[in-house]
Amino acid sequence: MRKLLIITLFIFIGTTALYLLLFNSQLIARDKQPSLYKIGILAASDSRLVKVDGLIDGLKQYGFTEDDYELYIKNAFNDTDKMASLAQELVDLDVDIIITTGTYETSNAKQITSDTDIPVVFVGVGCALEMGFIDDNIVTGCNITGVDSQYVQLSGKRLEYLQRLAPNTKTVLVLYNPLSTPFGPSSQYLYEAADKLNIQLEIAPVTEKSEMLSVLNDKQDDIDAIMLLCSLLFDEATETIVDFSLSNKIPVMGTNDQQVKQGILATYGITRYQEGIQASRIVANILNGQNPELIPIESPVILEFHVNKESAEILNLDINLAKIPDVSKYVNNISR
């Protein structure tokens, strides 16, 4: 009888110990389950959120579904004065990573995250090195990396394609915003192309819409075409630029595919959606633990040539894709 009690006691103790072990293991496993990644998005306007669409679709390719992360989108709605405070809000949320969608966004994110270890990935920013966002394109030397739009390097090519679309182009007005886009980095490519094409450049820095309109009205009788450099200013004023272009029969080479959808004649480069797709690989690598300082800045993988067919007709341009054989396979005719 005594042996039976002892055996029963051992069984009870063993069963209890096993239960406690299993229970504790479940608690530990529950504690070790990764929480949702917190991805912060810093955008200057609605027009740049298409990059986020590309990012979300791209992350799926690397095993990150929308069940794996939470998006915290901070949109300045074209008010760049709010950018710093929005960036600070993301830092206060202790996000795992911040995605910036333009120059203003990246500048403010760099400043606000300088005393943190939060990685920043920019999507489609040019002049990252010249603007001081990074130390080097190969080893960035900071918490920032991303996808370069290459608009600086492509500026000469865009000038060439503008003349191919409008063969009578001899004088081109180049509009840029010195607050967001220094002309210096693009100047070499533009002047080299202009010399080869026998084009005269009229360079005009503008920082406000009213200033831009004043320049357009002053120059309309002296120019054959307009070329835009990247700036939120021109994204906001696209409708105004289109109206001026079509009314005065002056073609415009834009900087992104969304401008072409609104009526700008053409653009050449990576689309905003594709920028988001490409940046998703960088984001996935960082979420998986890679140091952003060791991730080189990427150049666009896919370049596309977009022409607005309806605008071309209004401008009385006979678009012959045979004149642009090297990029004709990328052409998309988008009606306004």
DSSP per residue over 119-151, as a string?
A: -EEEEEES-TTTTTS-S-SSS-SSSEEEEE--H
On whether both 136 and 192 belong to a single domain, the answer is no
Choice among 21-35, 234-248, 266-280 with the minimum mean pLDDT? 21-35
**What is the reported pLDDT for 23?**
40
Tell me the per-residue pLDDT of 54-75, one tens digit each, with 9 for 90 and over: 999 999 999 999 999 999 999 9
Evaluate whether residue 22 is within a structural domain.
no
What number is the average pLDDT over the span 138-142?
Answer: 91
Rg of the chain, C-alpha, whole Å: 27
Separation of CA 128 from chain center: 12
**For residue 45, what are the domain limits?**
37-148+272-294
Cα separation, 267 vs 278, in Å, equals 19
Evaluate whether residue 4 is within a structural domain.
no
Question: Given a cut of 90, is residue 298 above it in pLDDT?
Answer: yes
What number is the average pLDDT over the span 181-201?
Answer: 92
**What is the reported pLDDT for 180?**
82
**What is the reported pLDDT for 326?**
57
**What is the reported pLDDT for 324?**
63
Please report, rounded to a whole number, the percentage of residues in the chain having pLDDT higher than 70.
85
pLDDT category at 249 given cuts 50, 70, 90 is very high
Question: Given a cut of 50, is residue 262 above it in pLDDT?
Answer: yes
Tell me the per-residue pLDDT of 213-224, one tens digit each, with 9 for 90 and over: 999 999 999 999
CB atoms within 10 A of CB 224: 18
**What is the reported pLDDT for 181?**
81
Cα separation, 289 vs 298, in Å, equals 19
What number is the average pLDDT over the span 121-147?
Answer: 90
**What is the reported pLDDT for 183?**
86
On whether both 236 and 312 belong to a single domain, the answer is yes
Question: Given a cut of 60, is residue 178 above it in pLDDT?
Answer: yes
What number is the average pLDDT over the span 236-247?
Answer: 97
Q: Where are the beta strands (DSSP E) in 242-329?
A: 252-253, 266-269, 304-307
Q: Which amino acid is at 6?
A: I
What number is the average pLDDT over the span 227-233?
Answer: 93
On whether both 216 and 179 belong to a single domain, the answer is yes
**What is the reported pLDDT for 12?**
42
On whether both 41 and 165 belong to a single domain, the answer is no
Cα separation, 276 vs 69, in Å, equals 16
Question: Given a cut of 90, is residue 330 above it in pLDDT?
Answer: no
* CA-to-CA dists, residue 1 to 46, 149, 290, angstroms: 81, 85, 65
Tell me the per-residue pLDDT of 5-49, one tens digit each, with 9 for 90 and over: 444 444 444 444 434 443 444 433 334 345 899 999 999 999 999
Question: Given a cut of 80, is residue 140 above it in pLDDT?
Answer: yes
**What is the reported pLDDT for 322?**
65
Collapsing DSSP to helix, strand or coil, 40 comes out as strand
Evaluate whether residue 2 is within a structural domain.
no
**What is the reported pLDDT for 153?**
87
What number is the average pLDDT over the span 260-264?
Answer: 94
On whether both 64 and 171 belong to a single domain, the answer is no
| Strands 266-269 vs 304-307: parallel, antiparallel or unpaired | antiparallel
Choice among 39-48, 58-67, 226-235, 312-321 with the minimum mean pLDDT? 312-321
Residue 117 class from Cβ within 10 Å (0-12 exposed, 13-18 middle, 19+ buried)? exposed
Please report, rounded to a whole number, the percentage of residues in the chain having pLDDT higher than 90.
74
Cα separation, 301 vs 41, in Å, equals 23
What is the residue-averaged pLDDT of the chain? 87
On whether both 127 and 276 belong to a single domain, the answer is yes
On whether both 243 and 321 belong to a single domain, the answer is yes
Closest CA to 279 of 264, 297, 254, 265: 297
On whether both 243 and 282 belong to a single domain, the answer is no
CB atoms within 10 A of CB 27: 10
Closest CA to 51 of 306, 327, 235, 264: 235
Check if the beta carbon of residue 181 is closer than 8 Å to that of residue 333.
no
On whether both 123 and 226 belong to a single domain, the answer is no
DSSP letters spanning 9-27: HHHHHHHHHHHHHHHHHHH
